[in-house]
Amino acid sequence: MKIGPDTVVTFHYTLRDESGAELESSRGADPAAYLHGANNIIPGLESAMTGQSDGDTFTTTVTPAEGYGLRDPDKVQRVPIKHLSFKGKLSAGDVVQLSTDDGMRTVTVTKAGRHTADIDTNHPLAGQTLVFDIEVSAVRDATAEELTHRHVHGPGGHQH
């Protein structure tokens, strides 16, 4: 079955940066799953998925504009450490959760002080060109409920 609007795609991926260094991989864990055409994944990867079928493997390069966006230097701010959720000692480079009025968001610590920390609220992958090795494990039609919710239910998706 081909990937198109309103299909649910299950896939394994390895994500590398431009130098070839591995950033993330689903190998050795459950595959990822998403509802195609619902902006559940970054645009560059979603468009590369279109027309692929189960069993297909391919490599695609995604520019920052089609990925997690460009890095905005203005998105660095100083916050009280108590607004951050982390374990152990906070250090520059740590990726932690910041509690905001809109819920938790992932931020990168650029400088850690005793009571405050400088954090970068850009997505950790913002500004990076991303190289994905993809293996499409399965493609199926979305259920009516998934189409209403605009996301996948079950393994790799929402459990509710």
Q: Which of 88, 49, 73 is nearest to 121 (CA)?
A: 73
Looking at beta carbons only, is 105 or 158 nearer to Zn ion? 158
Binding segment toward Zn ion, per CB under 5 A, in 13-21, 46-54, 124-132, 149-157:
149-157
Retrieve residue 40's tokens. 């559940």
Query: If phi over 0 gives left and psi between -120 and 50 gives alpha, with beta otherwise, what is residue 50?
Result: beta
Among 2, 75, 150, 158, binds Zn ion (CB under 5 A): 158
Among 72, 149, 150, 154, binds Zn ion (CB under 5 A): 149
Binding segment toward Zn ion, per CB under 5 A, in 46-54, 106-114, 131-139, 151-159:
151-159
- Name which of residues 52 to 81 contact Zn ion (CB under 5 A): none
Identify the helix (H) or strand (E) that includes residue 110: strand 103-112
Binding segment toward Zn ion, per CB under 5 A, in 5-13, 32-40, 97-105, 142-150:
142-150
Query: Amino acid letter at 62?
Result: V
| Burial of residue 110, with CB atoms counted within 10 A of its CB: 0-12 exposed, 13-18 middle, 19 or more buried | middle
Rounded to whole angstroms, the Cα distance separating 86 from 96 reads 6
40 scored as a contact of Zn ion (CB under 5 A): no
Q: How far is the CB of 157 from Zn ion (least distance, A)?
A: 8
150 scored as a contact of Zn ion (CB under 5 A): no
Instruction: Find where tokens 């480079």 sit.
Output: 93
Residue whose CB is nearest to Zn ion in the complex, by number: 149
Helix, coil or strand: residue 1: coil
Q: How far is the CB of 143 from Zn ion (least distance, A)?
A: 10
User: Footprint of Zn ion on this chain (CB under 5 A)?
Assistant: 149, 158
